[in-house]
Structure 1
Amino acid sequence: MCSTGCVTPTACLAGALSALAGQDLKGSFGPAVIERTGALVIAKNRLDAELARTVREGELTQAAEHDGKATMASWLRGHHRLSKAEAARLVRNGRTLEQLPVLAAAAAAGAVTAEAVGVIAPVVSEVNLARAAAQGVDMGEIDAALTEAACTASHADLREAVGHYLARLDPDGTEPDPTEQRSLHITKNGDGTVSFHGTLDAVGGEKFQAAVESHVQADRPAGDRRTRSQRQGDALVQLCDNALAAGNLPTLRGHKPHVVVTIDLDDLMDTSTGAGAGRTGFGGIISAARARWLACDGNVTRVVMGPEGQPLDFGRTKRIVPPHLRRAVEVRDRSCVFAGCDAPTHWCDVHHVAEWLLDDGPTNLENSALLCERHHTKVHHGFRVERQPDGRWRTWRPDGTEIVLPEPFLLSA
């Protein structure tokens, strides 16, 4: 099979991969790393195509029955721990490459990614092949055109090309109900973070992007080093903040929707971070520091619990920052006071400069500062803001250095 005496091609492949894994990359410089990366991408494309071809053969010969499985998808999930989505993608790609020989040749040569094959897959569904046959569409031409797009165009352009073809294939088809194309999956992780993914129809997606982008573009302070994804994440949280603050959302269990945190008083007063001290209404775990941050501009209710966990006494809910004080802070500060930020008042919380819990800071105008959600978080994690006698706000980093903005350019007449 090869100079090393391998018996089968897969044995040769295993040997080659072992040799690659054994190479020391620490001494490699830029061009060598780029060249190696490019070669591996092509090799991966070829291997993905060969895997899809093999899975398709297994499907045709019912190979999974050998191990007591009904389908290749179930065999891939059970024997190799693939996700349901990945196993389905492999089966679908194998069928697609069988139907489109030009695409299959390009994939085998490493010029087309498995993801691109997945984008083209709907073209050869039974429904779309029947529509193409009824309209006299030359699938050979479609195969060649889409393969060229997959090899030369961007992934976004390929998606658009496939979309155009499918739309022209059924121009008079029934307009789908957009709500049937929408889904959102929310998963709470072990560390309290929340992951989500979903699908929106074209119009719903446009609304979502427009709403998020408006906050992305409005929140661009000087010296901002966040990545695009970080800025979009902050924008989505700010969008939720604004909706919750407006008070126009539907009621949830008889109350206006709000963030709920339950925490022991001793933990809340602890000067340490207090990881895992508080529990949110939807079951998330947060630190005492984050609970104090939320309490800065929220309502606090005291509940005394008995030794067996039964409530013994309910204290009166107290609004930490009353409405009249918030209005005064908004008039004075006019925007987020963090250096380089000009987030509008309706994006902001009222922060206690001297913490009302740990430092016994008063809830008054002198001890209040307007901070947007992101910078309020920063101030509760090491940054500091302070108002000077002349009314100017200054900001310090956790290391004690001040964030100083450049002086504006003055143009002479």
Structure 2
Amino acid sequence: MFSEVIDGLVEMTADQILERFRDLELRRRHIDAEQAILVAAIDARSIAQCEGHRTINGFLRAELNCSKNEAAEVRALGRTVDQLAGVGEAWMSGRIGRSQVKQLDRARANRRISDRLGPLVPMLVEQAEVCDSPSFAELIDETIRCLDEDGAHDGRDDSIEHRNAHVSAVGDGVVINASGGSPLEAAEMIEIFDGFVEAEFRRDVAARAERHGVNAEFHDLARTARQRRFDALMAMFRAAAASDGSARAARLVLNIVVDAKTFAKVSHAAGLATDTNLAGEPVDPFTGLTRPADLIDELLSDPASLLDRRCETDAGVPVHAHDVLQAALSGHVRRVVVDSKGVVIDKGRKSRLYTGSARDAAKLLVKRCEHPGCLLPTKFCDVDHAEEWDRDDGPTDQANSGIRCNPDNRAKTRHKWRTKRATNGKTYTIREDGTVMLPIGARQPVFDDDPPLEAGRRCLEDLEWDELVAELERQGLTDMIEYS
């Protein structure tokens, strides 16, 4: 049977192979979702006990011949589709995959927030469809932090209190292990280490150019990336040994991106801002605008506001708001406060470094290369024109900027691709034939310049009435509901 499949591949075109691959993934998601809800039913109706098993996990290990961890995952996914409305439907329809459901399960399994999670689920399911996998995992992390502030604070304090590090000789080599500390210290260490790695890379490039001249790019570098990382760490140790041992803060700038509401809340908690106006009404300490008395209540009443929350370094390292305030007061790091649209409204005491720098502004709020599937950090990427400078007369401003690594940037130009921001705030890559690069099962995005009838037509086939209404609302076409 398997050999027949292999033989069939020989006669298939590239397009047919891709179509088959995508079709199989959609079918797998449908089956996985159905299996998950069946597991939930087996658990709820104690069917496993009828089969002679004491636990549902034992039943799954026996039936699936799987490990303990695999059985626990299958059971957890069953509980997720059973307890979080809309997850099973999105999974079975193919709009999200197993990876996204596992992230949603991570939030559901957190007992400290599970009773508050319900109002946020529809928004999270929608984001699971449009976000890449790393971004959605980060959104789940932010959801847990927002709904469990005390837990996040305790975790930070525990990490600082139990910080530790070891350098050990093991066999013929060395093992270095460090854990704990604050997120700011982690960000600083990463920035320093990356700087040393970059220096080692430049040494290899310079040596290759000196040896091979104009044909240098056709030759390998003297060391592998792994070897350069080890040598960079050795260089750090030697540089430390050559210093005076003062352990002064590094001469580098760390960017912390924080939204206005988070910065306002921590400022008020520290007694640096009021949260009421002259009439005694609750207001945002940063903007002066009225708001609910409790920010968690505000989040639950407006789940989409979670997407505006940011408290992290520009590399995506989460930072506790208390550390942001400490950094802002000391001036050791540059804070960048943004509003709900991502517009910078406060750059802190080192804002002079931004003057005239469209490049810094464009790269600050993006964590990775924006080409689908690429995970290269922003710091190693180019600032790209969404509308090409030569071909499309695209302006050089932040509204027309995008972040791409050098190979993806060149491929975009070579293949005549373009990028475009949709109404959901995400940037999509569009092929020359007008098709949008999307994950398997994801619905077509809606763009501001879509003709109303075209936007209304998208993704509406084969939908039940409730699904149709929800889709029209998602696309901002509520005036069509009564007509329909």
Work out whether the TM-score is over 0.5: no
Q: Greater RCO between the two (CA within 8 Å, min separation 6)?
A: 2
TM-score when normalising by structure 1:
0.42
TM-score when normalising by structure 2:
0.36
The structure where helix makes up a greater share of residues is 2
